Amino acid sequence: MPREHILIVEDEEEIQELIAYNLSKEGFRTSVASSGEDALKKARSDRVDLILLDLMLPGMDGLDVCKAIRKDEKTQTIPVVMLTAKGEESDMVTGLELGADDYIVKPFSPKVLVARIKTVLRRKSAEPFDESNPVSIFDLSIHPGRREVLVGKAPVQLTNMEFRVLHFLASRPGWVFSRYQIVEGVRGDNYPVTDRSVDVLIVGLRRKLGEAGAYIETVRGAGYRFKEEA
């Protein structure tokens, strides 16, 4: 039976109890935080395997909590599953851009919630991200071990998802990948995604890379590829 520790960040007591009950039935250990500030304290001080994060919280909202989690060396590798009543695609895209690993909309099926959590945890424990395969192509340097991207000598700050997409594409110059293949390559199979969310990630990448953003090409009707020749 799994004994992973799930931190439930949710301010509604009934939902806290519902989630904790269903996760406990599956053998998970759970703890609860009712605010973003409390969630960050617990994530930094306890051994947490996954954070189930509501967006609508008193005080510090879930998006700001996710940002803080991804910026802190102690917490940046903890998977985050966002749980919220916001169902608009723009909210999902924002969550993914900030580094969330999945996004579940209320009302939810407890069985689906548990299944999605297990999927995220399997991805975390599966083959680790290759930290021994830096990529240097054109004037772009990508170092997975340091999570560092340089254009020339200038560092570029990327979200975790943006970094993984860039490394995935730049490692295979000339190869064309559909949007779903990109997500499967960096996240694992069966990740819920829309064409729009991948497009937004690519737009953000190109903007942050400046002139080097032109190395990521759109292949109409197919997807994206990284340039093979300058």
Residue 226 pLDDT greater than 80, yes or no: yes
DSSP, collapsed to helix, strand or coil, labels residue 222 as: coil
Residue 87 pLDDT greater than 80, yes or no: no
The answer as to whether 130 is a domain residue is: no
- pLDDT at residue 105, as a whole number: 83
The residue segments making up the domain with residue 141 are 135-226
The answer as to whether 86 is a domain residue is: yes
> Based on the domain organization, do 90 and 173 belong to the same domain?
no
Angle between helices 195-209 and 179-187 (to 10 degrees): 80
Exposed e or buried b per residue across 41-73, where buried means at least 16 C-beta atoms within 10 angstroms of its C-beta: ebbeeeebbbbbbbbebeebebbebbebbbeee
Pick the last residue of a domain from 99, 125, 151: 125
pLDDT digits 0-9 by tens, 64-84: 999 999 888 889 889 999 887
The answer as to whether 218 is a domain residue is: yes
- Mean pLDDT calculated for residue range 153-164: 90
Residue 188 pLDDT greater than 50, yes or no: yes
pLDDT digits 0-9 by tens, 35-59: 999 999 999 998 899 999 998 898 8
The answer as to whether 183 is a domain residue is: yes
Domain total of the chain? 2
φ, ψ of residue 162 to 5 degrees: the values are: -60, -45
Find the CATH number of the domain harbouring 140. Answer: 1.10.10.10
The answer as to whether 179 is a domain residue is: yes
> Based on the domain organization, do 49 and 82 belong to the same domain?
yes
> Based on the domain organization, do 157 and 114 belong to the same domain?
no
Q: Which residues contact 221 (CB under 8 A, 6 or more apart)?
A: none
> Based on the domain organization, do 170 and 189 belong to the same domain?
yes
> Based on the domain organization, do 45 and 147 belong to the same domain?
no
> Based on the domain organization, do 62 and 145 belong to the same domain?
no
Min mean pLDDT across 4-8, 12-16, 135-139, 175-179 is at 175-179
Nearest Cα to 138, choosing from 209, 223, 208, 219? 209
pLDDT band at 1 (very low <50, low <70, confident <90, very high): very low
The answer as to whether 216 is a domain residue is: yes
Find the CATH number of the domain harbouring 106. Answer: 3.40.50.2300
Concatenated DSSP letters of 169-200: HHTSTT--B-HHHHHHHHH-TT----HHHHHH
> Based on the domain organization, do 76 and 142 belong to the same domain?
no
> Based on the domain organization, do 99 and 9 belong to the same domain?
yes
